[in-house]
């Protein structure tokens, strides 16, 4: 164990946390671009290793668990009030996409209550039956519910639920919802919406086995210490036939390759391991079940702009290269049809066997 200049206790993680394979230092001299805002001569201390086997990235010197709260001890989360669920947007393009998403929920993912609230024209219904055959289209259209198919009377757990916007939506769509949120202010915002939320870390959660029909994590998995232990623990909480969904940055995306240490998806020292497609496949093989992995280019232009800002001024938030990003976006979308590895987010879903398996029980 060593200490950095902030007296943070650090432990070296020498093997890939996702598959336990070996790797090599690939992205060096990274800094905490959210907390420190600027690159200085002394703060470029973080190194990400790339796994030879599964191509995941991981932070080599990791803050000790006992001190990880220090790394979030700033205005880390935006504490905006939760959004109202299913508020129709203004603007023609936004309305078209919104209607397509509603049709997708109703026709493909089984959310029949959506059609009762919003009459859906047959044009949209026909379109989504066509679009469902294309992975990038599915990644866009199912994102409201994080690709979780509807289950009547189902119970859903969202880890890192923030202010509870997603839980409010899922509750409106008929799920019984539970959230976990360690950030005190976000937890308070969620509880003000009469949501059932616990203010805990993942290590502290304690539910009986087979408690949930769905467990979701959006940009949470990369913050966790032990990916293998996490997947084992969460799949044990799922009922037979239940689904685990994790959405996280793709460490092999176009933006990762282009921006390297300026890539917005790194975020040291909070992003501890960033599983690749093969990494998620390995994790699913540990627990069994049916694994489905796709990528999304939905965040491409935002990540391009933020990564360029990190390169120019040391932190995200500057408005750099927005037009370039917008011009590149359709090309990246087309490219992702041929090679899904370049998408910015990985959408991992794992459906447990319909009868409790020996692998999950052991
Ligand atoms: Zn690996």
Q: Cα(84) to centroid of ligand 1, in Å?
A: 40
Q: Cα(338) to centroid of ligand 1, in Å?
A: 24
Model pLDDT, residue 355: 63
Domain boundaries, the chain: 2-72, 147-351
Write the CATH number of the domain with boundaries 147-351.
3.40.50.150
Q: Cα(288) to centroid of ligand 1, in Å?
A: 18
Residue holding tokens 């019984």? 176
Tokens of 242: 């239940």
Q: Cα(13) to centroid of ligand 1, in Å?
A: 12
Neighbours of ion ligand 1 (CB under 5 A): 16, 18-19, 21, 51, 53-54, 56
Q: Cα(65) to centroid of ligand 1, in Å?
A: 21
Q: Cα(19) to centroid of ligand 1, in Å?
A: 4
**Residue 278 neighbours by CB under 8 Å, 6+ apart:** 19, 53, 54, 55, 56
Angle at 216 between CA 210 and CA 218, to 5 degrees: 160
Model pLDDT, residue 5: 62
In angstroms, the CA 226 to CA 20 distance is 11
CB-side exposure of 211: number of CA atoms within 13 Å?
16
pLDDT by residue for the chain (362 residues), tens only, comes to 777 767 889 999 999 999 999 999 999 999 999 998 888 888 889 999 999 999 999 999 999 999 998 999 888 877 788 888 888 888 998 999 999 999 999 999 999 999 888 889 999 999 999 999 988 899 999 999 999 999 999 999 999 999 999 999 999 999 999 999 999 999 999 999 999 999 998 888 999 999 999 999 999 999 999 999 999 999 999 999 999 999 999 999 999 999 999 999 999 999 999 999 999 999 999 999 999 999 999 999 999 999 999 999 999 999 999 999 999 999 999 999 899 899 999 999 999 987 654 444 33
Q: Cα(55) to centroid of ligand 1, in Å?
A: 6
């Amino acid at each position: 164990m060593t200490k950095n200049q902030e007296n943070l206790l650090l432990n070296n993680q020498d093997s890939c946390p996702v598959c336990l394979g070996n790797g090599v230092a690939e992205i060096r001299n990274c800094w905490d671009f959210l907390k420190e805002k600027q690159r200085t001569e002394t703060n470029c201390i973080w190194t990400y290793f790339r796994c030879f086997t599964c191509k995941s990235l991981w932070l080599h010197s990791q803050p000790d668990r006992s001190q990880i709260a220090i790394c979030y001890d700033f205005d880390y989360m935006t504490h905006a009030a939760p959004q109202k669920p299913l508020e129709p947007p203004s603007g023609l393009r936004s309305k078209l996409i919104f209607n397509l998403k509603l049709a997708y929920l109703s026709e493909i993912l089984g959310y029949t209550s959506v059609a009762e609230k919003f009459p859906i024209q047959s044009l949209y219904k026909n379109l989504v039956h066509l679009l469902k055959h294309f992975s990038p289209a599915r990644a866009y259209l199912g994102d409201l519910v994080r690709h979780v198919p509807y289950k009547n009377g189902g119970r859903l757990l969202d880890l890192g639920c923030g202010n509870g916007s997603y839980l409010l939506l899922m509750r409106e769509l008929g799920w019984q919802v539970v959230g976990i949120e360690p950030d005190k202010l976000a937890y308070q915002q969620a509880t003000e919406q009469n949501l059932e939320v616990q203010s805990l870390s993942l290590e502290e959660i304690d539910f009986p086995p087979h408690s949930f029909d769905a467990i979701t994590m959006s940009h949470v998995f990369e913050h966790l210490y032990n990916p293998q232990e996490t997947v084992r623990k969460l799949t044990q909480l799922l009922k037979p036939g239940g689904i685990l969904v994790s959405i996280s940055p793709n460490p092999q995306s176009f933006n990762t390759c282009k921006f390297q240490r300026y890539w917005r998806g790194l975020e040291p020292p909070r992003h501890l391991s960033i599983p690749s497609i093969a990494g998620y496949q390995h994790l699913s093989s540990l627990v069994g079940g049916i694994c489905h992995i796709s990528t999304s280019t939905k965040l491409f232009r935002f990540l391009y702009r933020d990564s360029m800002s990190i390169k120019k001024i040391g932190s995200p938030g500057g408005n750099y290269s927005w037009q370039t990003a917008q011009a590149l976006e359709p090309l990246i979308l087309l490219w992702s049809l041929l090679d899904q590895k370049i998408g910015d987010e990985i959408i991992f879903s794992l459906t447990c066997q319909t009868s409790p398996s020996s692998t999950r029980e052991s």
